[in-house]
Every structure is written in structure tokens, then in C-alpha cells.
Amino acid sequence: MPDGSLKLRGRVRAVLGDNIDTDIIYPGRYLNITDREKTAEHLFELVYPEIRAGLQPGSFIVAGRNFGCGSSREQAAAALKFAGAGAVIAASFARIFFRNAINLGLAAVVSPEAAVVGHASACQPAARPAMLAAGDELEIDLVAGEIHDLTQDRIFPSAPLDPRAAELLAAGGLIPYLKRKYIDQRRNPCLDTV
Amino acid sequence: MTLAEKILARASGYDRVSPEQIVIARVDLAMSHENADLVRKSFLEIGVGRVWDPSKIVIIFDHRVPAESEKTATTHQAIREFVAAQGIEHFYDVGRGGICHQVLPENGHVRPGMLIVGTDSHTTTHGAFGAFATGIGATEMAGVWTEGTLWFKVPSTLRIEVEGELRPWISAKDLILHLIGRLGAAGADYRAVEFDGPAIRRMSVASRMVLTNLAMEMGAKVAFTPVDEILLDYLRPRVPEKLATIAPDADACYERVIRLDAGEDLAEPVIACPHSVDRVKPLSAVGEVPVHQAVLGSCTNGRLEDLEVAARVVAGRSIHPRTRLIVIPASQQVYREAMRLGYLETLVAAGAIINPPGCGPCVGVHQGILAAGETCVSSTNRNFVGRMGSKDSFVYLASPAVVAASAIAGKLAHPEAIVKEAEPCLTEV
């Protein structure tokens, strides 16, 4: 996703079940990698290594409830972002993952209507298919709270991004946001007004 | 107001707050472990130069101690240099501390009513000391290092009241695993949890920490046990500052109140089966499971009472030939006490290996990694696919007593089957 965009377009790369934990997204053994771009090499490495290979820039990962549960490791969100994911769409997110994603400028879209509901294991296919299917082309309006599935020609509601999260995503994440607040403005107070 | 509401109101300068409200709160303590290096990098990118208040930052090495690779050694080195340059005094290097969630309260950093954030999901542990304590990511922490504040959505609260008495060999670990099994891995997502009731109020501080630690595994943002005399007795010799007490209001509004009876609802030890913490079954329903590795340790169950019960189970016995028992005291203080009291002697005599205080194999990095096809019974907190090594290994989560009994039996076992006479666990003081 180009930093700052609150409207996304891309294809669904993979549809996963409930409780996709942070060890599945990014194994603990690689936690000493602190170069964010390099984390992408280990995305889903233990269980779904094939996902990363086919991840086109801007494509979407769809999952069920409680995506990103477990550890606070920011590498889970970083690996998704730097492997090219444009957003994760899930029925719900674990709270630390959700905050990490927004802080790194990765959209986390909550939509029980569009994503898998009703399954409880990370390692088996979803019990009933997600409404969104792999390969579907989507247009997402994060502020309006709308997922337009162009392939199925259906529109699903999603939770509209709250203003604080929208502000952070629009800035490209927390680092550029704070940088602008404390550094750039100090240098040039007119920057935000031009 | 509930405990979570009271602390957030105080920290954000409001008289009252209610669930769903967004507040900007002042942080009283910001804790990081090795991922302080990731925080440091984000902080340097922001570029403000100095952290907001070095006296409120605590850094504790625990995930990779001592350094297992040159890469980690370099990370440790970079953090040491940063800590010195920023004047961060509360720094616990290799051999000085142990697991962050044990070291923080042990050294008097945690007080009732504080707002604590940590770059570790099990930061919820500190709710056992009456603190609103929650995990955040590294970049978010860089924001805290910059501003000293953080935004929170005020959570609604689940209240869990536990009556009755735990049966012999049943511990706080069984109680919380039972609850996670009932509520599910997302059962407390985004919510605060208050544990209370006679069974909780009789528990030691160490046992209460097991509840608040594992509440995270049902998604809790924060979890609390009561601030009472047992807690204050623990805190007084450790905390130099004046201690305030804190309790929820009588008319506090709860999303849901769950009541259970520790004796009736928990007839036997429970096990969280692979690969999810909420796949909880009574031990007798799990069947025959041979065990290759048994792990006793972690921020969940590596404290003195955990080592004591394990020592009691293995005393005078030998670990089964197919099984290895790895014991990890949660901190240097726990290590020394366990040595002084002879627990380590007993465990080593039975065939256990003692790891240095730290996270050890729990996070799947070193000191006891599993091969494909291997099964582990562990007193730790997660049994996700590949958590402790191969994606084709299996982790069963259990209480320290069951871990010790299983190490002797070479398979999942009830401590009663090993120690014939029933003895109570040390979960009550």
C-alpha cells in the first residue's frame, strides 16, 4: 500500500481460519531480526510458506477471528507489510497486533461479514468458506468502512477506521507521524499549512 | 468504576471514564526486554534525541540470556550502549535479573494503581500488583519513550469470582487454563478481567501472577487480582514509595460476572492440548501421551512455589529414561532461594538440568528446542505450532506438579500417581 492511502485495491492472496497466532505469522526464532524489511523473508514460514511466495504488492490476507493473537512481536505486522501485503481483513484482531499494524502503516480491516467466522483452529482449513475468496479483486474504503468485491460484485461492510487510526495510517505509521509532529514542524512550522 | 476505569481515569486526568472512551494516559513505567533494540531503532528514526524520562524506563534481558549467537550479542551490546547514553538506571543485564515479569515486582518497580506498558504480551502479569499493565509493540513503545503518553480505549470488564477451595494438586494454573477453555482464546479480547473471591484471596502472590499472566491467552488487555494484605505484605519490603491501596467501586459496572467454585469445577488437573491454549481437557480425558521433554519455568510458572512442588514430586525418584526435565528459575532471586532451600539439589538429583533464569525454550530460541515428532509437557504459556521448535512437535501446557509427575512417569501423569499420599499444592499461604 502506498503510504498515506486510505483506499486500497488488490487481490485476496490467501484465506485463513481463526486464531492465526503470531508464531504462525512470524516464528519466535527470528525475533532477533530487527531490520524490518528482512522480517518479510520469514512470513508464515513454518505453516504456510507458500503464501509469501505468491504475495503480490498490495494483495490481501483474509482471516477469521482473533488474527495475530499471542506475542506482542511487532515483526508479525512488519513481515506482512514488507512482504507486500496491502491489508489484513479479519473477523477480529488481537489487540496488540491491531495496534502494531496501524503503527507500522499496515491496514487492519475488521469485517466479520466478509471474513471467516465459526472455526477454532489455526492449522486446519476454515470450517465454512469466507465470504471473500482467494483471487477476488477488492476495493477497500477504510474510512467509509466498505469492502467492494469486484469479482463477486458484492459489497461488505467493515468497521470504519477510527479517526486516530486513520490519522496514523494516513501518515504512513507512528514513526512518520511523530517525526512530523516533533521534528519537521520544529524545522519548518509552515510545513503542515502548505 | 472498575479497577481498569479508575486507573485510566487517574492517568488521563478525568474524574470518570467509561468503556469505549478513548483517553490519552500518562505512562508510569515502560518496560522492555531484548526488543528494546527494535524500540531503540524506531526511537532513533523519530529523532527527538532524548527519552522522555529515563527513570520510568526499565530494561531487562531475558529472551536470549546469555547471548546464544553473535547477532544477539551485538543486540545486547547496542542496548547497553543506549542505556548508558540515555541515563536509564533500571537496567538488568545478564545474571542480574531474570524474566522481566518476575524481576519488575521483585525489585519494587510495581505498585498498585500504576499504568504500565511493556513490549511483551504477558505484561498483564502486573495486574497481580494492582497495576493497569498491558503489552504493546516496539514502535508504539518508541512513541512512549518520545512522549510519555499513550492512547487507550477504556475496556469493559469481566469479573471472575471464585469460591470454594482448590483440591489437592490443583493449582492456579489449572484454574486459569480451565477458564481459558471455557471462554476461548478470544474470550476476553480487548477486555479487562478482575479476579476476586475467597479462593483468589487465599492465593499467594506467585499464584495470582499465574492468573493475570495467562489472562492474556484469552485476549485480556489487562487483568487484576485484589489488592489486599497478602499483596501489601509482599510489596512493603520491596517498594520504597508509600503504597496506596485500590479497589473497584461497589457500584462498578461489569460487562459480565462469571462465578465458579474452585473445588467443584476443578475435579482434577487440566491440560491445554496442542496447538491452542484453549484446547483444555481434564488430564484423565487426554489419554496416554508419552513425553520426551518436560519444561518447568517461564513468566507463568518458574517461581519458588513452582520449584517447591516439583521438587516434592520428584524427591527420591528418577526422571523417566525417555524424558528430559528442564528447570528454569524465573529470576536470580528465585534461583538463589531454590538453591538455599535445596529444591535445585532435589531436582538435579532426579536428573533435571537447570537453565539460567530467562525465557529459555518457551519462545523457541534456545535451551531446549523440540525435534519433529517430539512431545513436551510444559508449565509455560503457549503451545502454538512450532512455538518450542519443530512445527511437527507437540506442546501440552500443564501445572508445575503435572510437569514434574510427567517427567517421572515419562508420560502425562497426575502427581497423585507418583506421590501416593495426596498433599496440597503451595497455592495458598
pLDDT in tens, B366-381: 999 999 999 999 999 9
Look at residue A38 and tell me if it is in a domain: yes
**pLDDT of amino acid A34:** 85
d(CA B5, CA B18): 7
- The model's confidence at residue A188, banded by pLDDT at 50, 70 and 90, is low
DSSP secondary structure, B210-245, as one string: HHHHHGGGGT-SEEE----HHHHHHHTTT--SPPPP
**Residue A12 pLDDT exceeds 90:** yes
Which range marks the domain in which residue B92 is found? 3-261
A28 near A71, Cβ under 8 Å? yes
What's the mean pLDDT in B320-325? 98
* C-alpha cell read off for B227: 489488592
Total structural domains in chain A?
2
Look at residue B293 and tell me if it is in a domain: yes
**pLDDT of amino acid A122:** 45
Helix or strand or coil: residue B161? strand
Q: Find, among A194, A168, A163, the residue nearest to A181 by Cα.
A: A168
Clarify whether residues A52 and A118 are in a common domain. yes
**pLDDT of amino acid A189:** 53
Where does residue B313 rank: exposed (0-12), middle (13-18), buried (19+ CB within 10 A)? buried
Nearest to B276 among A29, A77, A121 (CB): A121
B129 near B109, Cβ under 8 Å? no
Look at residue A172 and tell me if it is in a domain: yes
By the CB < 8 Å criterion, does A21 face chain B?
Answer: yes
- The model's confidence at residue A54, banded by pLDDT at 50, 70 and 90, is confident
pLDDT tens-digit map of B209-264? 999 999 999 999 999 999 999 999 999 999 998 999 999 999 999 999 999 999 99
- The model's confidence at residue A184, banded by pLDDT at 50, 70 and 90, is confident
DSSP secondary structure, A65-108, as one string: TTBTBS---THHHHHHHHTT--EEEES-B-HHHHHHHHHHT-EE
Find the length of chain A: 194
Look at residue A97 and tell me if it is in a domain: yes
Q: Find, among A107, A171, A170, A103, the residue nearest to B150 by Cα.
A: A103
Nearest to B391 among A31, A46, A74 (CB): A46
Q: Find, among B236, B232, B262, B235, the residue nearest to B247 by Cα.
A: B232
CATH number at residue B291: 3.30.499.10
**Residue B420 pLDDT exceeds 90:** no
Clarify whether residues A40 and A95 are in a common domain. yes
Query: How many CB contacts within 8 angstroms connect chain A with chain B?
Result: 144
Choose one of B261, B290, B308: the last residue of a domain.
B261
Q: Is the pTM of this model over 0.90?
A: yes
- Test A92 with B45 for CB contact under 8 angstroms: no
CATH number at residue A148: 3.20.19.10
Q: In which residue are the cell numbers 468503556 written? A: B19
> Which residues of B are less than 8 Å from A21 in CB distance?
382, 384
Min Cα–Cα distance to chain A from B147, Å = 9
Look at residue B183 and tell me if it is in a domain: yes
Nearest to A47 among B38, B45, B385 (CB): B385
Clarify whether residues B243 and B352 are in a common domain. no
Residue A71 neighbours by CB distance under 10 Å: 29
DSSP secondary structure, A147-186, as one string: EEETTTTEEEE-PPPPHHHHHHHHHTSHHHHHHIIIIIHH
Look at residue A99 and tell me if it is in a domain: yes
What's the mean pLDDT in B101-123? 98
- The model's confidence at residue A190, banded by pLDDT at 50, 70 and 90, is low
Clarify whether residues A31 and A91 are in a common domain. yes
Which range marks the domain in which residue A104 is found? 7-161
**Residue B404 pLDDT exceeds 50:** yes
Look at residue A2 and tell me if it is in a domain: no
Clarify whether residues A178 and A107 are in a common domain. no
Look at residue B17 and tell me if it is in a domain: yes
Judge if ipTM > 0.90.
yes
Amino acid sitting at position A17: G
Clarify whether residues A24 and A42 are in a common domain. yes
B384 near B275, Cβ under 8 Å? yes
Closest residue of chain A to B20, computed from CA coordinates: A162
* C-alpha cell read off for B400: 508445575
The whole-chain average pLDDT of chain A stands at 88
- Test B363 with A46 for CB contact under 8 angstroms: no
Q: Residue A9: which residues within 8 A CB-CB, separation 6 or more?
A: A58, A137, A138, A139, A140
pLDDT tens-digit map of B164-195? 999 999 999 999 999 999 999 999 999 999 99
d(CA A156, CA B61): 46
pLDDT tens-digit map of A85-143? 999 999 999 999 999 999 999 999 999 999 965 444 444 445 555 689 999 999 999 99
Q: Find, among A26, A89, A142, the residue nearest to B137 by Cα.
A: A26
Look at residue B267 and tell me if it is in a domain: no
**Residue A191 pLDDT exceeds 60:** no
**pLDDT of amino acid A155:** 94
- Cross-strand bridge partners of residue B395: B376
Look at residue A77 and tell me if it is in a domain: yes
Closest residue of chain A to B387, computed from CA coordinates: A23
* C-alpha cell read off for B374: 517430539
> Which residues of B are less than 8 Å from A23 in CB distance?
364, 382, 384-387
- The model's confidence at residue A5, banded by pLDDT at 50, 70 and 90, is confident
- Test A96 with B136 for CB contact under 8 angstroms: yes
Choose one of B261, B291, B316: the last residue of a domain.
B261
Clarify whether residues B241 and B364 are in a common domain. no
Clarify whether residues B22 and B123 are in a common domain. yes
Look at residue B144 and tell me if it is in a domain: yes
Q: Find, among B379, B200, B190, the residue nearest to B299 by Cα.
A: B379
**pLDDT of amino acid A119:** 46
> Which residues of B are less than 8 Å from A171 in CB distance?
none
Helix or strand or coil: residue B138? helix
Clarify whether residues A31 and A113 are in a common domain. yes
Clarify whether residues B309 and B219 are in a common domain. no
Q: State the Cα angle at A136 between A135 and A137, rounded to 5°.
A: 115
pLDDT tens-digit map of B31-83? 999 999 999 999 999 999 999 999 999 999 999 999 999 999 999 999 999 99
Clarify whether residues A102 and A175 are in a common domain. no
Total structural domains in chain B?
2
Choose one of B242, B261, B280: the last residue of a domain.
B261
Q: Which of residues 171-190 of A touch B (CB under 8 A)?
A: 173-175, 178-179, 182-183
